[in-house]
Structure 1
Amino acid sequence: MSGRIVVVGDVMTDIIVVPEGPIVVGSDRRSSIRSRPGGSGANQAVWLASAGADVSFAARVGSADRAGYETHFRERGVASVLAGDKDMQSGMLVTIIDADGERSFLTDRGANLNLGIDDLPDSLLEGAAMVLVSGYSFFAPGPRKAVRNLLERARARGLAVAIDPASVGFLHEVGPTQFLDWVGPADWIFANESEAETLTGAADFEGHVQALGQQFGHVVIKRGRFGAVVGDRTGVVLSRAAPLVRMVDSTGAGDAFAAGFLAALLKGESVETCLDQGIANGARAVQFVGGQPQ
């Protein structure tokens, strides 16, 4: 497989909070607070470009921020197609990182909630080989209608489709059956273990792969510090361990993994190499604060 990859997903401003200790309810806690560009789709697009992929990214942002975001993506090798929203501000995400590098999120998706069919024109698909959609786009009616329409057009053109479920919390809210129905058949799914368990009800990653393989041609389960596996409806066909690294912030690690894997896939590399590249990208991502490569 070779060609351009089209990414659709959220753009967010990440407010990253690293407290010096446990949060004191009703009082103060000294913290490091930083602002970084983020959003699952945006992170994936930038990581893909950093891995040498030809990538276009479509999203919706607040009108006041549009020019700044266009510059941000252009400087990082991403061809962005951003719609400006006059009524809603760009999305914002507060990330609180604990002493172990684990994250908790407070999310205001803002203009992302107004993504519409007109924001995803046919020109996006010209010359493309694959469409990658973040699961966040399925969790609100407007974006869901828009991305389902885009995926229909992509399938009609014979393009590969990849899905990243993105949020186990939202999956619990809408229910796994409903989510899988919205997504429809796809060539690839990139899920972490919690997402896979929610979607399948299976107890182990072998069961996750077999169950998801009934709907998706290829299943990739991201297992964090334990690495990742690839398989299909027959079960796991390949497993790789992750290197031991010091975790600073796990934000964007899954996005980095998917980008590394797909960038290698689009270059025609073997599945083994794709998995190795995905794991290497994920390990790199956890070693600094923020969801996009530095």
Structure 2
Amino acid sequence: MNRAAAGAAAPDQDPAGTEPADQPAAKAASGAPTVVLLGDVMTDLVARLAGPLVPASDSPARISVEGGGAAANTASWLASLGAHSVLLGRVGDDAAGRAAANGLRAHGVETRFAIDRQRPTGTVIVLVEPGGERTMVPDAGANEALTADDLPYDVFTPGAHLHLSGYTLLRPSSREAALAALDLAHEAGMTTSVDAASVGPLETAGAERFLDWIDGIDLLFANQAEARTLASAAHSAPPPIPATDQSPATIHRLNSVSAARAIAEHCGLAVVKLGAFGALACSSTGDYEYVDAVPLGADVAIDSTGAGDAFAAGFLKQWLTAPSLAEALRSGCVLAARAVRMVGARSVS
């Protein structure tokens, strides 16, 4: 892969972004993996609707302000599991940016943020339906201006892992930074993972181009819709696997195995999140592992915001510590279930 090299940290790098030795970096469990994450830092305005959204009228809701951003959420969950979590990103020179950094550090995340003097910290309006499904209305803000010059060289070290939020790749203005981070990670001998992020931006950017950008990474996370879109763009997508058992769970699983096998030609491992039907991982050899979802019980789902980010954290912590696909998938499902049961996208521990 021929990607732009990153420069040194920008002059407007947050002087408080690198913690002293007695701060979060030292709180990671002994022998825990180091995960460098690159992606969005957002403020979530979460509106939990009491009923269906009523266009051109009032729709009562309970509204709260939460920490957000896919990479930031995964970083928080990883830190809660004892990993050394280092988050790279860009925030505004505003109260929201300072609150984001302070909140993440309080949860054990080492933050290495560039400060944008012109754009505000990103914000997303999250509309949560009574059943827990969410719709997002994002304003990327400072995230949109992330550049390769915002990447600090010193975090790209052998033995660490890079996890990249797909939003950074899908957004044209920050794509150079994402590709530069992947280059730096490969040059350092780090393992790498990417989350496909969201099917709408993925289709807009082009699934075939996305597969080219991530070609050669170790691990790709995608939900069912993202996996279908990526599989359709793969040149050698295999046909669906016939199922003798016609239950919804079996059909979802086998269709997703077919999609994962196509995607895995571009990465070492494709992990597909199936929501209530569990999760699976498929290697480039075509072998796959599947686990069931963690049962939530009737009417338990509160807010699905960040469930996929939590899943990635659970999977990565287990996979980087003791590579067992089944255990990594179970760990991801357990953390995703915890995320769904709470309001907001971040770990509260």
**For residue 204 of structure 2, what is the aligned residue in structure 1?**
173
2:48 paired with 1:14 = no
**For residue 130 of structure 1, what is the aligned residue in structure 2?**
161
- For residues 140 and 230 of structure 1, the distance between their equivalents in structure 2, rounded to whole angstroms, comes to 26
For 1:28, which of 58, 77, 80 is the aligned residue?
Answer: 58
- For residues 272 and 131 of structure 1, the distance between their equivalents in structure 2, rounded to whole angstroms, comes to 22
Change (3 A) 1:97 1:50: same
Q: Which runs of 4+ in 1 moved over 6 A?
A: none
**For residue 220 of structure 1, what is the aligned residue in structure 2?**
271
**For residue 57 of structure 1, what is the aligned residue in structure 2?**
87
Secondary structure in structure 2 of the residue aligned to 1:214: helix
2:328 paired with 1:278 = no
Written as runs of structure 1 = structure 2, the 5 A alignment for 1:107-186 is 107-126=138-157, 128-186=159-217
Deviation at 1:187, TM superposition (A): 0.3
Written as runs of structure 1 = structure 2, the 5 A alignment for 1:260-271 is 260-271=314-325
Gaps of 5+ in 1: none
Aligned AA for 1:191?
A
For 1:238, which of 289, 303, 316 is the aligned residue?
Answer: 289
Deviation at 1:276, TM superposition (A): 1.1
Moved more, 168-177 or 268-277: 268-277
Deviation at 1:23, TM superposition (A): 2.2
Aligned AA for 1:15?
L
Kindly indicate whether the alpha-carbon contact (under 8 Å) linking 1:209 and 1:233 is maintained by their aligned counterparts in 2.
no
Gaps of 5+ in 2: 1-30, 241-254
- For residues 273 and 287 of structure 2, the distance between their equivalents in structure 1, rounded to whole angstroms, comes to 13
Aligned AA for 2:142?
A
Kindly indicate whether the alpha-carbon contact (under 8 Å) linking 1:53 and 1:266 is maintained by their aligned counterparts in 2.
no
Deviations 1:75-117 (A, max 9, x none): 1010010111011001111111112211111110000000011
- For residues 54 and 43 of structure 2, the distance between their equivalents in structure 1, rounded to whole angstroms, comes to 25
2:74 paired with 1:48 = no
Deviation at 1:127, TM superposition (A): 5.4
**For residue 37 of structure 1, what is the aligned residue in structure 2?**
67
Deviations 1:227-271 (A, max 9, x none): 101111333521100122121111000000010010112222522
Deviation at 1:193, TM superposition (A): 0.7
Query: RMSD in angstroms over aligned alpha carbons?
Result: 1.5
Change (3 A) 1:25 1:142: closer
**For residue 304 of structure 2, what is the aligned residue in structure 1?**
250
Bigger radius of gyration: 2
Secondary structure in structure 2 of the residue aligned to 1:198: helix
Deviation at 1:3, TM superposition (A): 3.3
Kindly indicate whether the alpha-carbon contact (under 8 Å) linking 1:193 and 1:222 is maintained by their aligned counterparts in 2.
yes
For 1:3, which of 25, 33, 40 is the aligned residue?
Answer: 33
Aligned AA for 1:105?
M
Kindly indicate whether the alpha-carbon contact (under 8 Å) linking 2:119 and 2:142 is maintained by their aligned counterparts in 1.
yes
Deviation at 1:24, TM superposition (A): 2.2
